[in-house]
Structures are given as structure tokens and as C-alpha cells.
Amino acid sequence: MDVELTVRVLVVNAGSSSLKLRLLGADDAVEATADVSDTDDIAATLRSWPRPDAVGHRVVHGGAEFTSPVLVDARVKAALHDLVELAPLHQPKSLAGLDAVQDVLPDVPAVACFDTAFHSTIPSYASTYALPSAWRERYAIRRYGFHGLSHAYCAKKAGAYGSRVVSCHLGAGASVTAIVDGKSVDTTMGFTPLEGLVMATRSGSVDPGLVLWLAERMPIDEVTNALEKESGLLGLAGTADMREIEAALDDDPRARLAFDVYIHRLAGCVAAMTTAAGGLDVLAFTGGVGENSAAVRTAVAARLDHLGVRVTGAAEFDITAPGAPVRTLVVPSREDLEIAAGVRTVHLGHR
């Protein structure tokens, strides 16, 4: 057995209201899994599990400095706190998870794995906003990209079928990434996870002039809250759940509009990422909606027929229609495996 796969890794995935814990043992076998919501639950859960050799934390933002997994020490933790201003709605959750687990396992090495790291290979012409250079330098403004752990895992699974992959991570948050030879070359999320696709409660890209117009008419925190938590599918259909929207397509005009807007934006972003990749060999769907909604996949494929995307309605890994020049895959999201791989590399390198 590969020595790396003998390292038992606790994977910590911090969400908006809970921590998802998963313990991976030899050969990445899942030894235990749990969703916990407070410090007492974390302590009780981890004390009942086998002791890990290392802990891997999903951290949303690594900024320009952290482009690969890193062993967490006092300097790294301070740097991660400094990045809170770049992701104020997400970074604190990651840091709270780090602190909570370290309270229970203070002597177990902790490794931070970053959602932004996979996108560090995006060329400058795709990562640079057309803003004054003084702003870009002073505030570290650039397109960072997110969902990198998911896209990286998807790239590994899909890369065996072609070098030019467009990966669609469709969940509560959603993004599309262009991948060439396993490396990200463009993505739809930018400086924050608000840019790009229509999401469950996030607006995705809107005219910046609209945001300025709204900010003149209401408090900026109301604008921020609405764009993050009251927009997207929820704002269009009154529900953030794609399953409910699909069930109401024939009866509720709001559901039909929400679905059509979602598909229009998604198909357009896939086409844009195809251009960034220089063509399309593989289209991959992952995340809760990407994996489970045949209706979304079929509707997007219909809009992308001119690119060679044609699919079956089957619920399997390869959903490519016979004769289609582009391979279309459904890849179960396993960010935990991507995190564990990064943890083992760092952990064994520091022994």
C-alpha cells in the first residue's frame, strides 16, 4: 500500500451553519462522518472517533500567497485572518472550524487546503479586472476563483477523457471552470464567490452600475444581504431548491422563469469557458444540482448542441449520447479526497 494512504486524515468542511466532518483511513476508506453544529458536538464527536494523524481544513480564501496546501502555524493562521476582508461571509466559518477542532486535537497537525489555490494558474489576462492599478495593488483586487477543491477533483476524473475540460460545480453556490491539461485557465467566480452563475440565493453577475444605483437608495448592508441571501433562485422563484422549481415548471410562471434564467446563464458561461479552453473535449457536472438534476443537464446540453454536447437522461457517470463529439460526465463531488491528498503530501513532507 502507498505509504501516503496509510495516513488517517480528518477532513473538516466548514459550511454556513455546520461543520461536516469525515474521517478517511487507509485507501481513503470512510471510517466515520458527521455534521456538527457547535463546539460541544465537535468535541463529543471527535472524542468518540479514532485519532487522526492529521487534519485537513477546507479554507475558502488563500489570497495570492497560499497556492497549495500549507501546514497551519501561528503565522499562517494570522495570515488567514488577514484575508477575512476578502471573503467576509466565508472565511470566518473556515477559521471557526479550525479553532474548534484544534481545541479538541491540539497536538494533531492541521493543514489548510484552499478553494482559491487551484485557480492560481489562471493567466493574468483572465484574472485581471480593468480597474485602476492603484486599486488593484492596494487592495489585492483580482479574480481569485472558488470551488477549486471540487474543480480540481473533477479535473482528475474527467481529464482521462480529454485535455480540454469544462467543469460545472452546481450546488447552492455554483461556478464553471475551464481546465486545460489539469490546470485552471479561467473560471466564473471572481474577487468574491458572488460573481458568475445564478445560484441558490446569490445573484451571480449583475451590472455594477445597478449595485451603485441601489447603494444610493438603501443601506449598503441591505444591498449586500439581498445579493447574497435573497437573490438567485430564491429571488426569482421564491425557493432556493432546484427540486421544487423543477416540480413546479408546468404550473408556476416564477419557477419557469427561474429555471430558464438559470439555464441561460449556465449555458452562456459554459460557452465562454469553452473559448477560454480553446475547445471542448469533456463537459463535467458535479455538486448537488449537477449530479442530481437530469433536467438541468438536458436543458444545458440542448443549448450547447452547436458545441457538440448531447446527453442521455441516464443517471450514471458517462451520459454522452451516442455519436456526440463531446464527452459529458457526471462526477460525484469528493472534495474530501482532494483535501486528504493535499494533507498527506504536506504531512509526510514535514515528518
Name the residues annotated as catalytic: 115
The dihedral through the CA atoms of 252, 258, 262, 263 has a sign that is positive
CB 43 within 8 A of CB 103: yes
Nearest to 279 by CA among 308, 249, 247, 242: 308
Q: Do 200 and 258 contact (CB within 8 A), yes or no?
A: no
C-alpha 173: how far from its chain's center?
A: 7
Close Cβ partners of 5 (under 8 Å, ≥ 6 residues apart): 26, 27, 28, 344
Determine how many CB atoms are found less than 10 A away from the CB of residue 308: 18
**Neighbour count for residue 29 (Cβ, 10 Å):** 10
The answer to whether 165 touches 174, Cβ cutoff 8 Å, is: no
Q: Quick one: cell of 170?
A: 452546481
Paired residues of 318 in beta bridges? 329
Rounded Cα distance between 118 and 121, Å, is: 7
Cell 500549507 belongs to 70
What is d(CA 75, CA 73) in angstroms, rounded to the nearest whole number?
6
Query: Cell triple for residue 279?
Result: 475547445
Beta bridge partners of 166: 178, 283
CB 198 within 8 A of CB 262: yes
> DSSP of 18-37, one letter per residue?
-EEEEEE-GGG-EEEEEEE-
Angstrom distance (rounded) from CA 39 to CA 97: 9
What is the DSSP-derived secondary structure letter of residue 52?
P
